[in-house]
Structures are given as C-alpha cells and as structure tokens.
Structure 1
C-alpha cells in the first residue's frame, strides 16, 4: 500500500466501513441517549431514570448542587428530533476534519472541553450579569451546540480557508466566513435578548474554548499520555536495532537519514498520525515521510 493510499493521510476523507471514528461514536451515543430519553422522560414510573432528569445542566444543580457531571452529560441530550438532527449533521461534517487533524483522543478531549466551556460561560453570565440573560439558575440547558461551536471555531483557526457548502444552498463559503456569520448571530441574539439566551451563551462559550485549544494544540497532549504511539506490524518481524561489528561487539544501528526509510519506520509514523494527528510528528518523523514520498 502506498503512503498516500492511507485514509488518515487525507484530511477530511470519510472513514471507510468498519474503520474506527470518534465522530461516529459520538453521534451513536447521542442517538441512543435521545431514544432512551424519548421513552423514559415524562413517563409516570420511570421519569427519574430518564437521562434528562439527571443529566441536563442548570446552574442550580450543576454549581450549587455540586452535580459537576452535568457539564458533560448535558452535551448528549437534546430537546427534540430536529435539535438532534442538525447538531449531528454539523458534528459529522466538521468533526471528521478536526479528528483527522488532532487524532481521535485529542479530538474527543477538544470536543468535550468545548461543551464544558459552553456550560461555564452560561454559569458566569447567570451569576455575574443576570440581567443580560434573564435566565433563572434553575433553567435546564441541553444539547451538543456548545461542542459544535467549538468545532466551528477550531476549524476557523486551523483551516480558515476550507470551503463548505451548507445544506440546501448552491453557494460555497470558507469556514471562516460561515463560522463568523453564525458567531455574530449568536452575539446579536444574546445582546438582543433572543428566545434562547442560555443556548447562545453556551454557543459562545464553546467557541471560545475551541479557539483557545486550536491556538494551543499542545494543551491537549495529555489526552495521549500512556498510549503507545508505535504498534508492532502484524505478522511481521521487527528489524533488529543492533548490528554485530568485528570483534563481536554489538552496537546500535542508526536509521538511514538519506536513503529511503524502512517499511517499519513508515508504518510507525503513519500509526502515530492515525492516533495523534499529523501535527504531533517530530522533525525526524516528518523527514521519514518526506523520504518515503520521494521514493514513491
């Protein structure tokens, strides 16, 4: 298989059938939670077990009640079918690009922290400037929109000129133009006292955290700690790291830095890209990719 035949060297390419994808996993979780919530919430006997009952975020429960898990769980709850649908469409199309950029573990951290940022900004505005939102501390908030706006701000930062075409429109826009439009709408709706001030605050909080994380991607390195970046090739044997010199002494064999890299070297680098994104490569690993490209 050639170097550029690999799926994860093509940023934004849709994962193939059976290929692991954090975006697909997040969408599946959201759909399953929505179905469970639709059955249980409002029922006479099992309402307390419904995800919305113990997972929706409000300042009263999440902050005053110290139920801190709600800053995460509210991200997987939705108020209706179309709320779920449009959020999942956005996550599918935008999330695939950022997952390819960051790697699946760092992408998951990016996604969840953006959603948490939405809950935190909402909390700050409710506590510090209650007249701006006019939202009660007991008002529940649900939805993946905060995390989605984090994805928008992240793409605006790392790939501002990526072209996108919104559904049902014949025009293309750069992600910087389209994302900027929606962010301005959220600011205006917040200041004007729109119908969903809590949601607009969550949008802007998610976008703020997404922008900060995209500007400082090393702040997500903790997500990959303890994970082996290089996996042995299945069914193959590792080339010995030592060579025997005259006199019987073994010395470490130095990898070539001028000729074509070995297959083991290329596989190790590509495995790292799959797990952590191309931005995680060291200068030496980028040199391996460049020498492999020249050898094609």
Structure 2
C-alpha cells in the first residue's frame, strides 16, 4: 500500500472526526490555489467564504456562518487547530456518536459566528474571521464538561486532568482578548459556552445534534433514488415490541470502537506500527 491508499483508508474508516480534519485540510489547499496572495504573502478570502461582521454582507450570505469554520489564515493556524481538533475529537468520540460530533461542530460554528457578528456590530467594529477554532473549543469544552477528571498524558509533563488543559486554553483566550484577534477570541469563548450548554442539555435529555442529523437525512433522502420493487403482500404475526427507554448519550458498537482504537494508534505512531491482524481487520472492515 502507498501513502495515498493509506489516506483513503483512514478517510473511509476514520469516521466523521477524521473526515472533518480532511475537509479542513482540503479547504486550505484550495485556498492556496485561489485565494493566496503570493506578492503580499497572505490570504484574501472573499466575503462569500469568510464571515463578515457587516450585516449588509452576512444577511445576504448566511452560509458564511458555516464556511468560515473550514478555512484558515495561515499554515500554522491550520496545523495548530488540527492538532487540537484531533486531540479533542479522540476524547469526544470515546463517549458520543458521530452524529453528535458533527452536530456539535456545525451548531457551535454557527452560534459562534452569530455571536462574533453581533458583537462587532454593536461595538461598531468591522472585521471578518476564518478558522475552526470556535468549533474545536466547543468539542473540547463539551467533553471536559462530561468528564472533567479524565486523566490525559502529555508529552514531557505526564498525567494531568482534562479540565486543567481546557482551563489553561480558556485563560489564554481571556488574557489575549484585548491584545489582538479580538473577533477570534470572541468566537472561541462563544464556542466554549456552546459546548458546555450542549452537554448540559444532552444530560437532561435534549440532543441538539438531532437538528443537524434530521436536516442532513432530509437532503440525503431527497436526492436518493428509491428502488422500484413490485408490491408484495406479506402476512405475518405481529407482536407489539415493548418500548425500551434509552439514553440520549449513545455508545458505539464494538466494531467501530476497535476501528477508532486502531486509527488512534495510527495517528500516534504511524501505520507501520500496526500488527498484521490489525491491518487485516481494517481492510475487512472497509469492504
């Protein structure tokens, strides 16, 4: 297998968290081709991609409340965000489902974008933002809210509590609030707030991600051709199933859990560290 096959395999089996990372990287590569100013050494994102604080812009381009969360200003901006996103995603996917992950990413990006635009409007400041930081903060704070005392091993530091890591990041955001990138820090804090609210509502039985899941299912079914099969009347004894109370917090099946563990191993130590059995398991799971 070559590198391209490995990337395809990771994209296919890595789940929604890995795909979101791939989407961010793909958007950055597209940016290099179309929006990078080689003379000035920076990106010039059009107002139909970046989120503007000008009501005359965002009111007529509402999709920018989401598109901004997939583009980045610099390579280092992308690199740092994807490292934190991978870290937060691995923790989040330990406890929650892929639909909840995607729902949180999208909803937190939109919520943070609205907070940014309204804040700049009332402060009478003009500006625009790009970056996945707000959605990443939502994911990190969400899993921290759910499991604040989880032990996380950091290189050169050792084991620390998850809430310690999240607290440091939030404090750094607050300290830099008035120094630079005020709009970015506003969206970060808004994302953190949304992640907290998302988990609290989930624990009380309200899963906000259902809004995104049902919307995506609607459009998927809209463009999916239903197979035409002849009508067959089938008689069978029917027994009403007993209702089973289930929690909104859904656990994953064993196969997906094993796939996630193998992909985590790949992200930490590379594909070559896998055993022969693990490689065979990935190929069988991808068929």
Normalised-by-shorter TM-score class:
0.5 to 0.7
**Counterpart for residue 193 of structure 2:** 208
Q: How does 1:104-253 map to 2 (within 5 A)?
A: 104-130=98-124, 136-137=125-126, 139-166=127-154, 168-190=155-177, 193-217=178-202, 218-225=207-214, 252=239
Cα shift at 1:188? 2.6
Q: 1:25 to 1:64 in 2, by over 3 A?
A: closer
Cα shift at 1:163? 2.1
Aligned residues: 214
TM-score between the two structures when normalised by the length of structure 1: 0.63
Q: 1:123 to 1:199 in 2, by over 3 A?
A: same
SS where residue 20 of structure 2 aligns? Answer: helix
Instruction: Tell whether the 8 Å contact from 2:102 to 2:209 is kept in structure 1 after alignment.
Output: no
Once residues 115 and 34 of structure 1 are traced to their aligned partners in structure 2, the CA distance between those partners, rounded to angstroms, is 17
> Which string of whole-angstrom CA distances, capped at 9 and with x for unpartnered residues, describes residues 31-81 of structure 1?
11101101211469xxxxx99323111111675542111110000010111
Once residues 241 and 208 of structure 2 are traced to their aligned partners in structure 1, the CA distance between those partners, rounded to angstroms, is 32
Q: How does 1:53-68 map to 2 (within 5 A)?
A: 53=46, 54-60=48-54, 65-68=59-62
Once residues 183 and 22 of structure 2 are traced to their aligned partners in structure 1, the CA distance between those partners, rounded to angstroms, is 26
User: Mind listing any 5+ residue stretches in structure 1 that lack a counterpart?
Assistant: 1-15, 45-49, 131-135, 228-241, 243-249, 258-268, 276-296
**Counterpart for residue 289 of structure 1:** none
Cα shift at 1:124? 2.6
Cα shift at 1:187? 1.9
Q: 1:57 to 1:223 in 2, by over 3 A?
A: closer
Instruction: Tell whether the 8 Å contact from 1:87 to 1:144 is kept in structure 2 after alignment.
Output: yes
Q: How does 1:240-279 map to 2 (within 5 A)?
A: 252=239
TM-score between the two structures when normalised by the length of structure 2: 0.65
SS where residue 172 of structure 1 aligns? Answer: strand
> Which string of whole-angstrom CA distances, capped at 9 and with x for unpartnered residues, describes residues 3-30 of structure 1?
xxxxxxxxxxxxx955241111111111
User: Mind listing any 5+ residue stretches in structure 2 that lack a counterpart?
Assistant: 1-8, 219-235, 245-250, 258-287
CA RMSD of the aligned region, Å?
A: 3.3
Instruction: Tell whether the 8 Å contact from 1:62 to 1:68 is kept in structure 2 after alignment.
Output: no
> Which string of whole-angstrom CA distances, capped at 9 and with x for unpartnered residues, describes residues 249-282 of structure 1?
x574989x9xxxxxxxxxxx9659969xxxxxxx
